[in-house]
């Protein structure tokens, strides 16, 4: 049961006595785990040091492991204990992720040094060889420990990206855009700015609403690196994919950005086709996937799902402009943008919870599909030039909560109303979408979902909601019809004190068992 | 559509002025006029707010307030009024009823920024829309090969998100406008897009078909912008192409 290749603390030994063999998960769906922003700089073993002399000792990098990791063991050893289920490969602890039936890992790599990840060197923006060596080692280790797939994604716009500059930038000299300038936060790898939110960083700029794709200030040239260091040959994504290939891990999905929201932030479409430089970004990443023998159609951006609410006046479901459920309108928005169709905020929306219900017919557009309806119902929305590689997979982030009310988009964590029925509706809607859009047989990933974490501060949910989410999935037509193509990835931030790592998700008696 | 005369604007301007007036509920009012200042009836007025977002401890964006996307239509005197809106910043865009009308949100100085306070009506200055030339692409398709990408049709209650092999539009600077499929006459497909008179625009074709200019006989670029077309002052201007 337990090897002593490295010394294990007493608690780990105790836990190991309860070690259970690898078991099936919510079969035949696949269970994966999120790790959040991963500390690549520290992924090493003493007496070595990591990137730019970073310590290899855990200290409190993984602060809430239920005794699995002490502060004195190495970061690499700690991660081993999260996953390893084979005594031949070192310490095995009870409840490790592989024993739970988890077969895939999603992790962020930050780009500017925060969250202990510094992939670039100096002024030429080359990839740091130590960083990529350590990431390769992580991938090799995950493979050795029993993980089959990895979903790495760059933290392009998150507050922990590092190397951010607050400055004033002019609006583009583009028709329909205002004159003057705006103060925003800019990253050197992101072709748009983020709005200040007090002393921190808020969301993408929304200058001129739906017109932000064109009108939001471009990242100033003295900040912007160009796409080369990110998506060019030899750039960081190229090398990350190379690391996965070297390790023998599959990359079913390469997620270019987390939780794309084209309805509220049309400027994020610059990550599909960057109008500021004329760059087909996802096509370039697709080529990198091909170069490493992964599918080019695995490049996408994840989206969030909409939630219903549980107070008076709430409805459980409605149709969006696109005709699918408004629970998945961001999925339609993304698909349409790739395809060359309309995206951005529709002109006529009736919001219910965070569902954007189509309200065109009550504003004089006529019945859906009638003569003139399309032009009326999509007025003002944007269309990208050309058409772009449409992903052959779908990644929806779903926190299966019910919102407090139509005007309060906070999750109701009281437990007063079960989310099971609402979640069954959601998964049924997804199955309907896949069927109608010809995507059955392709992967459908719930790239972030309910966490089973005891603290609501980890994922804004509860173990009860997690159980109900899983029950809702099992009762759905998606589960009964297409479960083999479903990937569930409960959220976790392994470096956060709010989240326990490892947490029980799958076998023997987790919510996604 | 008939547009009212200037005498109407003379009356309406009495209560239209820049600034914010007290009212029982918050909202926006204004008037849409044409380039000569005449009111435009039947114009579409769209307004949307800037919903608030914050980031949680993991960096995820979390919406903390409601979104509002809606619209109205101008009356015969070109006026519009919307009430019952929560306070906040709204972007207002207007679109004329004619196919060659140009919206200031796409061709002018941008959306009207209406910052609405509680219990106040934001009274906008007249918003002008202009008339342009209707650029018409006539695409001959003798072998019936052409299928539109993102056709403006609805099938089974849904907007299509796949299929097709042809899409045409223009680049005006860095801005793209799609030419909308408007009709088919025999083997000829018509696509229209309104552009300002005198503008220099570059056709942008995306197609797996070979596209040829019937004027020059030269192959057109696909997936990239073609050489510029200068838009004349005619109400309509044609560009003749063939696919094979």
Tell me what ipTM this predicted complex has: 0.89
pLDDT score recorded for residue A390: 86
Q: Which among B75, B110, B129, B173 is the top mutation candidate for probing chain A, defined by the most A β-carbons within 10 Å of its own β-carbon?
A: B110
Q: Does B105 touch chain A (CB under 8 A)?
A: yes
Over 50: is that where the pLDDT of B98 sits? yes
d(CA A154, CA B133): 45
Partners of B44 in the β-ladder: B73, B95
Of B60, B103, B175, the CB nearest to A174: B175
DSSP state of B158: B
Task: Please state whether beta strands A444-449 and A394-397 pair in parallel, antiparallel, or not at all (unpaired).
Answer: parallel
Q: How far is CA B181 from CA A278, A341, B142, in A?
A: 25, 13, 17
> Does B44 sit within 8 Å of A214, measured CB to CB?
no
Q: Are A85 and A145 in contact (CB under 8 A)?
A: yes
DSSP state of A292: T
d(CA A269, CA A263): 10
Touching B: A residues 63-122, CB under 8 Å: none
Task: Tell me which CATH code domain B133-243 carries.
Answer: 2.60.40
Of A178, A197, A384, the CB nearest to B54: A197
d(CA A222, CA B107): 29
Task: Please state whether beta strands B229-230 and B200-207 pair in parallel, antiparallel, or not at all (unpaired).
Answer: antiparallel
Task: Please state whether beta strands B175-178 and B166-172 pair in parallel, antiparallel, or not at all (unpaired).
Answer: antiparallel
Q: Does A345 touch chain B (CB under 8 A)?
A: yes
d(CA A450, CA A196): 29
d(CA A253, CA A249): 12
pLDDT score recorded for residue A11: 35
User: What contacts A463, CB < 8 A, 6 or more positions away?
Assistant: A452, A453, A454, A511
**DSSP E strand stretches across A78-192:** 102-109, 120-121, 126-127, 149-154, 165-170, 181-186
Compute CA A45 distance to the chain's CA centroid, rounded to the nearest angstrom: 29
A3: buried, middle or exposed (CB in 10 Å: 19+, 13-18, 0-12)? middle
> Does A206 sit within 8 Å of B50, measured CB to CB?
yes
Burial profile A471-504: b = 16 or more Cβ within 10 angstroms, e = fewer: bbbbbbebbeebbebbbbbbbbbbbbebbbbbbb
Q: Does A10 touch chain B (CB under 8 A)?
A: no
pLDDT of chain A, 513 residues: tens digit per residue: 222 223 333 333 333 333 344 444 588 999 999 999 999 999 999 999 999 999 999 999 999 999 999 999 999 999 999 999 999 999 999 999 999 999 999 999 999 998 999 999 977 899 999 999 999 999 999 999 999 999 999 999 876 677 888 999 999 999 999 999 999 999 999 999 999 887 788 899 999 999 999 999 999 999 999 999 999 999 999 999 999 999 999 999 999 999 999 999 999 999 999 999 999 999 999 999 999 999 999 999 999 999 999 888 888 899 999 999 999 999 999 999 999 999 999 999 999 888 999 999 999 999 999 999 999 999 999 999 988 888 999 999 999 999 998 878 889 999 999 999 999 999 999 999 999 999 999 999 999 999 999 999 999 999 999 999 999 999 999 999 999 999 999 999 999 999 999 999 999 999 999
Three-class secondary structure of residue A147 per DSSP: coil
Touching A: B residues 115-144, CB under 8 Å: none
CATH fold of A10-161+224-490: TIM Barrel (3.20.20)
d(CA B1, CA B40): 9
Chain A: closest CA distance from residue B141 (Å)? 20
Over 90: is that where the pLDDT of B58 sits? no
d(CA B81, CA A433): 38
Touching A: B residues 159-218, CB under 8 Å: 159-162, 167, 169, 171-176, 178, 180, 204, 206
Other beta carbons less than 10 A from residue A356's beta carbon: 27
Chain B: closest CA distance from residue A227 (Å)? 18
CA dihedral B188, B193, B195, B199 (to 10 degrees): -50
d(CA A251, CA A153): 11
In degrees and rounded to multiples of 5, residue A440 shows phi and psi of -65, 145
Token pair in block for residue A325: 């459920």
User: What contacts A371, CB < 8 A, 6 or more positions away?
Assistant: none
Over 60: is that where the pLDDT of B66 sits? yes
User: How many inter-chain contacts (A to B, CB under 8 Å) are there?
Assistant: 198
Q: Are A491 and A34 in contact (CB under 8 A)?
A: yes
Token pair in block for residue B218: 């030269």
In degrees and rounded to multiples of 5, residue A357 shows phi and psi of -80, 135
Residue for token digits 């919406």? B63
> Does B48 sit within 8 Å of A345, measured CB to CB?
yes
- What residue ranges do the domains of chain B occupy? 6-131, 133-243
Q: Are A31 and A505 in contact (CB under 8 A)?
A: yes
Q: Which chain B residues touch A342 with a CB distance below 8 Å?
A: 150, 159
What's the CA angle centered on A247, arms A242 and A251, to 5 degrees? 65
Task: Please state whether beta strands A355-358 and A349-352 pair in parallel, antiparallel, or not at all (unpaired).
Answer: antiparallel
Partners of A255 in the β-ladder: A300
> Does A385 sit within 8 Å of B171, measured CB to CB?
yes
Q: Does A374 touch chain B (CB under 8 A)?
A: yes
B136: buried, middle or exposed (CB in 10 Å: 19+, 13-18, 0-12)? middle
Q: Are A397 and A305 in contact (CB under 8 A)?
A: yes
Q: Does A258 touch chain B (CB under 8 A)?
A: yes
Q: Does B87 touch chain A (CB under 8 A)?
A: no
For helices A75-83 and A129-145, angle between their N-to-C axes, nearest 10 degrees = 30
Other beta carbons less than 10 A from residue B215's beta carbon: 10
Partners of B29 in the β-ladder: B81, B123
Nearest Cα neighbor of A492 from A502, A482, A483, A484 is A502
d(CA A154, CA A490): 19
Mean pLDDT calculated for residue range B123-136: 96
pTM recorded for the entire structure: 0.92
pLDDT score recorded for residue B154: 93
For helices A281-291 and A236-247, angle between their N-to-C axes, nearest 10 degrees = 30
- The answer to whether the B6-131 and B133-243 domains have the same CATH topology is yes
Q: Quick one: which H or E segment has residue A463? A: helix A463-474
CATH architecture for residues B6-131? Sandwich (2.60)
pLDDT score recorded for residue B65: 83
Q: Which chain B residues touch A407 with a CB distance below 8 Å?
A: 66
d(CA A85, CA A83): 6
Over A95-127, what HEC string results?
A: CCCCCCCEEEEEEEECCCCHHHCCCEECCCCEE
Residue for token digits 């018409």? B136
d(CA B47, CA B83): 12
B73: buried, middle or exposed (CB in 10 Å: 19+, 13-18, 0-12)? middle
Strand order in the sheet with B180-185: B180-185, B188-195, B133-140, B236-243, B211-213
d(CA B130, CA B128): 7
Over 70: is that where the pLDDT of B12 sits? no
Token pair in block for residue B11: 């009356």
Nearest Cα neighbor of A240 from A147, A132, A115, A148 is A132
- What residue ranges do the domains of chain A occupy? 10-161+224-490
* Residue B209, Ramachandran bin (φ over 0: left; ψ between -120 and 50: alpha; else beta): beta
Tell me what percent of the residues of chain B surpass a pLDDT of 90. 77
User: By 3-state DSSP, what share of chain B in percent is helix, strand and coil, each rounded to 5?
Assistant: 5, 50, 45
Tell me what percent of the residues of chain B surpass a pLDDT of 70. 90
> Does B158 sit within 8 Å of A323, measured CB to CB?
yes
Q: Does A369 touch chain B (CB under 8 A)?
A: yes
d(CA A124, CA A135): 21
């Amino acid at each position: 049961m337990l090897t002593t290749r490295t010394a294990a603390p007493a608690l780990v030994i105790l836990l190991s006595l309860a070690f259970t063999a690898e078991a099936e998960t919510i079969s035949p769906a696949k269970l994966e785990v999120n790790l959040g922003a991963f500390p690549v700089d520290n992924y090493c073993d003493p007496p070595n040091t990591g990137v730019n002399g970073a310590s290899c000792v855990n200290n409190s990098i993984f602060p809430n492991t239920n005794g699995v990791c002490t502060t004195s063991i190495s970061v690499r050893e700690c991660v081993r204990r999260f996953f390893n289920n084979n005594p031949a490969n070192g310490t095995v602890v009870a409840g490790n992720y592989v024993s739970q039936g988890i077969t895939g890992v999603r992790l962020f790599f930050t780009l500017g040094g925060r969250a202990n990840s510094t992939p670039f060197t100096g002024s030429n923006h080359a990839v740091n060889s130590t960083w990529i060596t350590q990431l390769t080692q992580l991938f090799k280790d995950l493979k050795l420990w029993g993980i089959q797939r990895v979903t790495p994604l760059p933290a392009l716009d998150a507050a922990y990206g590092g190397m951010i500059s607050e400055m004033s930038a002019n609006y583009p000299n583009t028709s329909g855009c205002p004159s003057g300038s705006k103060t925003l936060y800019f990253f050197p790898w992101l072709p748009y700015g983020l709005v200040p939110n007090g002393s921190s960083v808020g969301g993408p700029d929304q200058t001129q609403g739906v017109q932000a794709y064109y009108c939001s200030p471009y990242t100033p040239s003295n900040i912007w690196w160009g796409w080369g260091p990110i998506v060019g040959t030899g750039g960081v994504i190229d090398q990350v994919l190379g690391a996965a290939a070297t390790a023998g891990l599959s990359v079913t999905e390469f997620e270019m950005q987390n939780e794309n929201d084209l309805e509220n932030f049309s400027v994020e479409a610059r990550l599909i086709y960057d109008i500021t430089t004329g760059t087909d970004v996802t096509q370039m990443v697709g080529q990198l996937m091909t170069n490493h023998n992964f599918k080019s159609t695995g490049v996408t951006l994840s989206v969030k799902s909409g939630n219903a609410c549980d107070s008076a006046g709430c409805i459980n479901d409605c149709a969006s402009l696109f005709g699918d459920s408004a629970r998945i309108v961001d999925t339609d928005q993304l698909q349409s943008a790739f395809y060359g169709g309309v995206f951005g905020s529709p002109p006529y929306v009736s919001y219910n919870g965070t569902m954007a219900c189509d309200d065109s017919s009550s504003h004089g557009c006529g019945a859906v599909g009638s003569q003139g309806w399309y032009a009326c119902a999509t007025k003002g929305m944007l269309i990208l030039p050309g058409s772009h590689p449409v992903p052959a997979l779908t990644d929806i982030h779903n926190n299966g909560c019910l919102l407090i009310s139509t005007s309060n988009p906070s999750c109701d964590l009281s437990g007063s109303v079960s989310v099971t029925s609402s979640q069954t509706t959601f998964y049924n809607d997804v199955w309907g979408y896949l069927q109608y859009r010809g995507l059955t047989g392709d992967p459908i990933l719930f790239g972030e979902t309910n966490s089973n974490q005891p603290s609501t501060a980890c994922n804004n949910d509860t173990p009860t909601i997690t159980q109900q989410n899983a029950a809702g999935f099992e009762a759905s037509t998606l589960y009964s019809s297409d479960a083999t193509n479903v990937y569930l990835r409960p959220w976790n931030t392994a470096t956060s004190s709010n989240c326990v790592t490892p947490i029980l998700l799958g076998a023997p008696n987790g919510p996604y068992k | 559509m008939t547009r009212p005369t200037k005498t109407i604007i003379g009356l309406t301007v009495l209560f239209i002025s820049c600034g914010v007036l007290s009212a029982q509920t918050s909202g926006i009012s204004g008037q849409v006029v044409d380039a000569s200042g005449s009111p435009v009836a039947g114009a579409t007025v769209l307004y949307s707010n800037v919903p608030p977002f914050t980031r949680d401890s993991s960096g995820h964006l979390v919406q903390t307030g409601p979104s509002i996307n809606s619209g109205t239509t101008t009356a015969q005197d070109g006026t519009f009024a919307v009430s019952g809106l929560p306070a906040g910043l709204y972007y207002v865009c207007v679109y004329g009823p004619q196919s060659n009308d140009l919206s200031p949100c796409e061709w002018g100085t941008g959306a009207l920024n209406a910052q609405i306070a509680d219990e106040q009506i934001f009274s906008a200055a007249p918003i002008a829309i202009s008339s342009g030339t209707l650029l018409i692409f006539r695409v001959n398709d003798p072998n019936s090969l052409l299928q539109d990408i993102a056709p403006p049709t609805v099938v089974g209650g849904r907007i299509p998100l796949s299929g097709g092999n042809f899409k045409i539009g223009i680049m005006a600077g860095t801005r793209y406008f799609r030419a909308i499929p408007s009709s088919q006459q025999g083997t000829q497909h018509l696509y229209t897009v309104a552009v300002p008179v005198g503008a220099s625009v570059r056709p942008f074709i995306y197609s797996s078909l070979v596209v040829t200019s019937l004027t020059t006989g030269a192959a057109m670029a696909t997936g990239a912008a073609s050489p510029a077309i200068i838009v004349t002052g005619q109400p309509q201007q044609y560009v003749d192409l063939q696919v094979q």
